[in-house]
Every structure is written in C-alpha cells, then in structure tokens.
Amino acid sequence: MLSSCYRFTATTLPAHIKTVRIADVDYRSFDAVLGNRLKDGIVELFRINAPAIRIVNDNADADFTLTLLSYSNRPESQSSNAEVETYRVTMNVSVKFYDNVRKKAIYENSSVQATGSYYVQKNESEAIHGQERAIKSLQDIIIANALAKW
C-alpha cells in the first residue's frame, strides 16, 4: 500500500532485534478503520524495509506502538469563486519503538504530525487519497527520525 523513500534494514537496527510486535493503533475514539490503516502502514514499512525482522504477536525483542492523538480534514485552498479545491488531512500521532531486551526506547516521539492533501476537482477522496498521503508522510517522518536515533 505505502512505501517510503528512506530505507532501513535489519542491520541498522540493534543486532539483537530479530522480532517486533506491532500493537493495534490506539485511536482515541477516532475511526477504527483509520487505526487499522495506520497499523497496516507500519507493518508494510517493516516488511519492505526490514524483511529479516519477523513480526510477531507477543514475546518480541521490540514493541512498536502508535497512538492517534488528533485527526482533522479541513479546506486547504479555494478557487476564485470560493469553491474548495483541496482539503488537507492532518494526523498527530505518538510513536514508541521499545527494545524489550535492553529495556530502553529505540525511538520515541510524543508528537509526530503528518499531512496529506487531496484534490476535490480531480474527484479524489479523504479516505483514499488524503489519508493515504498522510500515512505515507508519517512513514517517511518515522523512518527519517528513527534512523537518526539508530
């Protein structure tokens, strides 16, 4: 579904990390489908960029958690006759990638904001285009920041 222009591999993670548990997204009363799409985006990020890391349901070397703190869908630009041309989806999330073996955070950020615009004039939609672009942006931000920590 989504990919990132940044890459990490199992070798850029601590050598003892062989498995990761990706928790269901805590979506704090937002749409559960959006929570699932966010989790799917993170699973995809690991499968593409770190295929040697096994994703497991429990007893993992590391845990990855994501909390959707806020979500908005607002007009971004208007035409000269005041019709909305583009909308912007904005997500604010909290991220934690925790090393269960060494008992410390590999990467943690309590406020990561990602946006995705979509174009009404091109028949694009919030769920398909705006959310997908925001999730891709979120992946890029997480990878760029996490790489700096690893």
Are 42 and 22 spatial neighbours (Cβ–Cβ below 8 Å)?
Answer: yes
Model confidence pLDDT, tens digit, residues 13-47? 889 999 999 999 998 767 788 888 999 999 988 88
Here the CATH number for the domain that contains residue 72 is 3.40.50.10610
User: In which element (H, E) is residue 19 found?
Assistant: strand 19-22
* Domain presence at residue 5: no
Question: 94 lies in a domain?
Answer: yes
Q: Is residue 45 part of a domain?
A: yes
On whether residue 3 sits in a domain, the answer given is: no
> Does the global pTM surpass 0.85?
no
Q: Give the span between the Cα atoms of 79 and 84, in whole angstroms.
A: 6
pLDDT digits (tens, 9 = 90+) for 51-69: 889 999 999 999 999 999 9
Give the range of the structural domain holding residue 86, as residue numbers without chain letter. 10-149
Q: How many domains does the chain have?
A: 1
120 touches 75 (CB < 8 A): no
